[in-house]
Structure 1
């Protein structure tokens, strides 16, 4: 009679410390007590689920050195140094990149001119896309793109990813109208 040990899922946060190469990348767990090691090698498979913190699908191409992730694993790892794990899921924790801007034009996207404060994106203009973006007015209430007017002052949060086009384009995660 065979007996099977039930594996418990483990989830921990980590910082990515290398670029993705040949399906692997290095991490340093933020809490070494829960993860057990100072550094680990992630070996992802086709079964590894990637998603952003807001539950939108992601890919391994979204992994960048320096970002924080949440790793879910079944606890199995190699006995090598550094240990290697095959994660079941990787959640990309979105950093809070943000900048202030003045609205130049509102259509299905928002064309803005970043001001001098905050983390300034490259270029004098930025196109802001808003598919699943929370837009908050000065009273803290949720509003829609129709409530944004030319010359409004905005605080725009995004995931740090920006196109190399001119003007650059971003997908906002949150917009606050000042």
Structure 2
């Protein structure tokens, strides 16, 4: 059974009506759970602005961008293997908006020129609906000795820089395949 609420006013009236909540949380056993079906995953919507180009410089959380030679923007660091170096997306700036971005596990057992049948395993699927937009974005991809520039012994090699003026709209699915066994 599906319920849809068509009016924000109706929701507001329901919320402030003062009707007592009669529902109670209860745990379900294996037998009760076997009769329930659903779909796992995450559905995200949002709008993120990080030191937009041409924007105000007052946002010092990600660094002040007044000086063109000074680093500013967000940083995303990930380590590919324990004890290895760090790959970084650095000096991320711009506006990112998305509605309905999904994250789920998908089983691949066909397609991919016959390789899907041989693979026969789960992959991570990032769903990109047609409302994913990037506006005036720039970032650098690099290799770093540490996750943070403030850590002792920090050294970073920038591999390349990306700058996109205007809007980019993306759609489709991004599949992340595991490689090798731990």
Greater share of residues in helix? 2
TM over 0.5: no
**Which of the five TM-score ranges fits, normalised by the shorter chain?**
under 0.3
TM, length-normalised to structure 1: 0.22
TM, length-normalised to structure 2: 0.22
Structure of greater Rg: 2
